[in-house]
Amino acid sequence: MNVIQIEERDNIGVATQTLKKGDVLKHKNGEFTVLETIPIGHKVALELIPKNEFIIKYNVPIGRAKVDIQLGDYVHTHNVEDVTEELCNKNKELFLVKGGK
Amino acid sequence: MSTISAYRRANDSVGIRNYIIVISTVSCVNTVVSKIGLHTGAIPITHEQGCVEFEDDHRQTVLALMRAGQNPNVYGVIVVGLGCEQTSSKDLIEAIESFGKPVKSLLVQQEGGSPETIAKGIELVRQLQKESTEVIRETESLAGLVVGVQCGGSDWTTAISGNTVIGRMTDLVIENGGTVLMSEVFGFPGSEHIVAERMITHEKGVEVLKMVEELRNDFLNDHGQTIEKINPTEGNKAGGITTLVEKSMGNIKKMGSSRIEGILKLGEQVPYPGLWIVDARVQGPDQFGTTGFAMAGANVTVFSTGRGTPIGNAVMPVIKITGNPKAYKRLESILDFNAGTVLEGKTIDSTGKELYEFLLEVASGKQTKSEINESFEFAIPREKARLT
């Protein structure tokens, strides 16, 4: 196995060995081609992630796409914005406003 | 519901080991304590504290030593002091005896020196060892089982195959009525909103947010920068971590998906079974975190390590799992469980179940590598955050 998808909803997978450009991988949605070399432990897009959409890992948003990310693309700091502060603040605010479940 | 075979203690707590420990009240007697351990197989607890400490620090030292002696895995205790130190042997002994455990006391100045204290210590340990064989394991529910979850010596596999597998195990322990403790609150910033949502009440969620807010402010005061500014580090990025929320999610994955009952202060005992957070804010070697669990009454810690560590604890077996199959092959003498099979195609779910079964075996007496190698670390955590 070359890629592990941790949770069902994740739109990225983690390379469990270095993926080479042109490698053809199988996923539940069918086959796809790796578009760039991806080092072991790094992320590959398992679907099209349009610009400004969230990268989902561990079933939660971990960052925002800076550009359209294609299926098979390398997903890292070059195309993902770290929006941790925004996520934390927004969700904290929502949580505090909600005032109880 | 699962069961384990364990020791019921006088105060109704449940131990999974019948350890005899020798506690040093002050670093002056560390060698004496170590030698009693070497000659008998009793577990020595030595440290660098016990005299001329600030009051707050000393309170913490005594709390840690007291909780070690009171831990349900401990059958009996020898307390070794010098005779003129800040630590009161008397108070320590009374606190441990109040849990219904046999405690013996030795003071080097009274016994006539080191060789004399060691000789007497050996005799006292042998006595306790003889008595301890009369206590037998009985079938117990998981209500008394307290499991710490921790990670350290991490690599790219720690979050993916190590901590996710621990997360599945955590959910199984909780479903079966046991307790799981999480700490490493320095790894929370970035996903505190997710932890807050999982607390049993809204008020407790607010407590989590406050705790992390304090950490963030301490960090800002000490470094002049927010945590986000320098985290994830360049090394993290080279390893494939892109954002802080991704990094901290890798940490909190060990808590699985169960609801969280509340936050315990360092040294506070678990009030009832469930998933709890221990607020130990010490940054430093992993032993501080593990000892924090022992102080809450933990029986065992499950520790995920991608690079490998020999860590154990003076009053608990430590189960080491690695998400890295290569590390497992290379370091099998210090690692107990290979979760790296997840990278080779096994599901997280089935591997988590296997880890849970392994945990129950350890709880019922199976020795961990930390015990076989006699790795019995103990490090006294401090209350206040210490950022280095």
Query: What ipTM did this prediction achieve?
Result: 0.95
pTM above 0.90, yes or no: yes
* Cβ–Cβ < 8 Å for A14, A2: no
**Residue A67 in contact with partner chain B when CB distance is under 8 A:** no
Chain A residues closer than 8 Å to B243 by CB = 62-63, 80, 82-84
Is residue B29 very low, low, confident or very high in pLDDT (cuts 50, 70, 90)?
very high
pLDDT per position as a tens digit, B160-174: 999 999 999 999 999
**Residue A63 in contact with partner chain B when CB distance is under 8 A:** yes
Mean pLDDT of B216-221: 89
- CA of A27, closest CA in chain B: separation in Å? 13
- CA of A90, closest CA in chain B: separation in Å? 9
Select from B201, B209, B348 the Cβ nearest to the Cβ of A92: B209
pLDDT at B385 over 60: no
**Residue B161 in contact with partner chain A when CB distance is under 8 A:** yes
pLDDT at B139 over 70: yes
Torsion-angle region of B345 (φ positive above 0: left; ψ -120 to 50: alpha; else: beta): left
pLDDT at B223 over 50: yes
Q: Which pLDDT belongs to residue B384?
A: 60
Is residue A72 very low, low, confident or very high in pLDDT (cuts 50, 70, 90)?
very high
pLDDT per position as a tens digit, B63-113: 999 999 999 999 999 999 999 999 999 999 999 999 999 999 999 999 999
Give the integer Cα–Cα distance in Å for B166 and B302: 8
**Residue B261 in contact with partner chain A when CB distance is under 8 A:** no
Is residue A1 very low, low, confident or very high in pLDDT (cuts 50, 70, 90)?
confident
> What value does the mean pLDDT of chain B take?
95
Candidates A58, A86, A90: best to mutate against B (most CBs of B within 10 A) is: A58
Q: Which pLDDT belongs to residue B179?
A: 98
Range in A93-97, B177-181, B182-186, B192-196 the model is least confident about: A93-97
pLDDT per position as a tens digit, A30-49: 899 999 999 999 999 999 99
**Residue B342 in contact with partner chain A when CB distance is under 8 A:** yes
Is residue B388 very low, low, confident or very high in pLDDT (cuts 50, 70, 90)?
very low
**How many beta-carbon pairs under 8 angstroms link A with B?**
98
Is residue A101 very low, low, confident or very high in pLDDT (cuts 50, 70, 90)?
very low
Q: Which pLDDT belongs to residue B228?
A: 82
Select from B160, B191, B242 the Cβ nearest to the Cβ of A6: B160
Mean pLDDT of B192-203: 95
